[in-house]
Structure 1
Amino acid sequence: MTMTSARALALLTASALVLAACGDKDKTDGKAPASQARAVSVGRVETRPLGGGIEASGVLLARDEAVVGSELSGYRVARIYADEGDYVRAGQPLVQLDATLLRAQIDQQAAVAAQAQAEAARVSGLDGQGVLSQEQIESRRYTAKAQAASLNELKTRQSRMTIVAPVGGRVIERGVKPGEISGGGTTPWFRIVRDGLVELEADVNEQDLSGLSIGQPATVTLPGGQQVAGAIRLVSPRVNADTRLGKVRIRLPVREDLRAGGFGKATFGASGAAVTAVPETAIRYDASGLSVVTVDAGNRARQVPVRTGRRGGGWVELVQGPAPGTRVIVGSAAFAGDGDLVKPQPVSTAQKAAN
């Protein structure tokens, strides 16, 4: 082999090695496999009412609550007819007390009252005749009346041995147990939400109270993301001097997922016009302007420029941007790189606005 041929062979070998190395680099520079995809929280572009709303948090409370117990003391609880979560009607039996001892007392008192009445009857018409003193006559009549009153008192007790619901509604607490002795504690036996009506008591900033009025529509968002339409029933006439907050009560429909003691967030005054909007946490701010990061069908992140409009309730109007239904990354993950492979994790409506 000549010197020139050897050099040519060496150059060809070196070129092949460089090309192989480049091929290996291309393989490693490819997109990350699905197993290495970054998990991100994803919402959607939605068409929804938006505009200058006031937001306030609060607690779900019973509009009217009835507390049930026994007026009697010393009687054993024989039966319980209702439990937490039950809907009861006004007058429906809740607890039956054991009336065995009381019935015996009534029978005994009935006999005593009958005897006293008979003795009073025997002196009828003897007034002023001198057979008996007037004092003796009046004493027999008084004794008859007193014994009859005692009998009536026992019968009244008997009528209250069955404890009934004073109002119709949902039982939210039961504090009575079988075998318990009435009058032995301070815990209510039952708490009933009248007609099952639960409403939201929201704390509203002092400066926002003047913009609220009775009958004004409001939307209440529950922790699970469910939204419930309601209306303002009461605007408090006073403001807490320490917190500068006023109470607003929102009337809500009867629903199983409205539980007294739960949390809710109210939005007041949003306009009825539907616009294309995204959660505020989906908006990305950088030197090139505003944008959102969408997720395509292949789960690739794509940065899309947007123009925004009004804001309200944790949402931003998109004057220009992706169409409704488009998936968008929300929260800190919105800074995912353009073209990155991601693993979408859907979030609830409430989380979209809170992230």
Structure 2
Amino acid sequence: MKKWISLSLVAMLLTGCEKLDSEIAQLKKNEEETVIKVKTVNAYTVEQNQDALAMEVSGIVAPRQELALSFGASGKIARILVQKGAAVKAGQTLATLDAAALQQGIHAAQGQVASANIRRSKAAQGPETHELQTQKLQVEKAKQTAAKAEQEHAQAKVLYAGGAISKDELDRLALAERQAKLDLQEVEIAYGKLLKGADRLDVEEANAQVQQANVELTRARQEAADAVLTAPFSGVVAAIPQAESEQTGPGSEVIRLVDTSQWLVKLQVESEQIGSWKPGAVVTVKAPDGSQAEGKVTFVSPVMDQGLGSYPVEVTVTGSEVNWKGGMTVTCRYALDAKDVALVPVSSVGISEEENYVLKINDNTVEKTPIKLGAIHGTFYEVVEGLEVGDQIVGSGLSYLVDGEAVKVADE
């Protein structure tokens, strides 16, 4: 009997131990599952920045000037005096047209100017002596003709009264008398004008003719000048699309000239960053081949490019310092004035109900904290209000967390 009781006790103890082991294992499993469910986050500790930051923006290299040159007149290309790749000076002749016809036009216009000046001189001087004498003789002749016609008409009246001539003959002689008197009156008026000297209207007309002739001469000379193609600035010949003996005209590109004395790097800067860019600031420009040069900000657009949603900025680099080509993509490194300010990564800032916030970490729990931002410095925001130096915040992945959620902090 005692033996049976001992066996029962042993069995009960064994059963109790097994149950206890099972409960302990389940607790461990629950604990492990709880640990697994806690999200691991990257943390960032807010510090006061002591180092200068820099912003990097990529841009396209373009020459300071690039111009397609064409003649101002139509004609056949006589000579092209440069080759591709040649360095030319401002004012240098690059090509010419066949100017034979244009020179003939100049000579013709010069003749018209000379003739017009002679006519103007004569008009201003008035009639010459021989002109006055000739007109006076015409007046005397007209007087004689009129007197003779008057006498014949008077005799005809007497004859008609005696029936010696017809009525038609009488009328013919009367008409001849009237015409002779009109002719006399006309030459006397002309003679009177000559006696008065130069006519004002004649002088004005002569002046107008001189002006018109000079206009034609200027036009002919301009056409001749347009037949010579000169370099408007110093640069390098980049292309020569046409050849000698080809027909060309205004607007048809003959030579492409590029000014490489300076390079312009054209950037598009986001609205959050444009406030940091100032004209005159020094920029380090780096090319894909590793070469770099110092540039200067020469233009910051006051208005946004509505098509791109950013602000155009230009950086100028002296051409002698680099061996660049138009169209290259380069990177501009722009120093930012961000010393002694608290900065947080852009990825740590969220937007909720039109306000910015971060998730502050307190005792392994995240707390949604509103903040006020200042300028953006590259990939960092300047924090004006809401955080203090030493605060720990979630560095990224805010959309996967909620306010009050437990987290596990990974290495910063």
TM-score (norm 1): 0.53
Q: Is the 2:71–2:228 Cα contact (8 Å) retained in structure 1?
A: no
Distance in 2, matches of 1:269 and 1:111, equals 69
Alignment-mate amino acid for residue 247 of structure 2: I
Q: In structure 2, do the counterparts of structure 1 residues 208 and 154 end up closer, same or farther at CA, with 3 Å as the change threshold?
A: same
Q: Which runs of 5+ in 1 are unaligned?
A: 1-49, 272-311, 314-355
Aligned-pair CA distance for 1:56: 1.3
Q: Which runs of 5+ in 2 are unaligned?
A: 1-50, 128-192, 338-377, 380-412
User: RMSD of aligned C-alpha atoms?
Assistant: 3.4
State the partner residue of 2:291. Answer: 226
Distance in 1, matches of 2:62 and 2:328, equals 8
Q: Is the 1:221–1:227 Cα contact (8 Å) retained in structure 2?
A: yes
Alignment-mate amino acid for residue 179 of structure 1: S
User: 1:318-329 counterparts in 2 under 5 A?
Assistant: none
State the partner residue of 1:328. Answer: none
More strand by share: 1
SS for the counterpart of 1:210 is: helix
User: 1:142-291 counterparts in 2 under 5 A?
Assistant: 142-183=208-249, 186-194=251-259, 196-241=261-306, 243-255=308-320, 257-269=323-335
Q: Is the 1:199–1:251 Cα contact (8 Å) retained in structure 2?
A: yes
State the partner residue of 2:133. Answer: none
Alignment-mate amino acid for residue 103 of structure 2: R
SS for the counterpart of 1:252 is: strand
Aligned-pair CA distance for 1:191: 4.0
Distance in 2, matches of 1:240 and 1:114, equals 58
State the partner residue of 1:25. Answer: none
Q: Deviations over 1:31-75 (max 9, x none)?
A: xxxxxxxxxxxxxxxxxxx96321111111233444432222x22
Q: In structure 2, do the counterparts of structure 1 residues 115 and 246 end up closer, same or farther at CA, with 3 Å as the change threshold?
A: closer
Alignment-mate amino acid for residue 259 of structure 1: K
Distance in 1, matches of 2:231 and 2:331, equals 32
SS for the counterpart of 2:246 is: coil
Q: In structure 2, do the counterparts of structure 1 residues 239 and 98 end up closer, same or farther at CA, with 3 Å as the change threshold?
A: same
State the partner residue of 2:53. Answer: 52
State the partner residue of 2:98. Answer: 98
SS for the counterpart of 2:121 is: helix
More helix by share: 2
Aligned residues, how many? 222
TM-score (norm 2): 0.46
Aligned-pair CA distance for 1:125: 1.6
Distance in 2, matches of 1:235 and 1:148, equals 48
Q: Deviations over 1:214-241 (max 9, x none)?
A: 2322222222222222222222223345
Q: In structure 2, do the counterparts of structure 1 residues 71 and 242 end up closer, same or farther at CA, with 3 Å as the change threshold?
A: closer
Matched residues, percent identical? 20
Aligned-pair CA distance for 1:109: 3.2
SS for the counterpart of 1:103 is: helix
Look at both structures and tell me which one has the larger radius of gyration over its CA atoms: 2
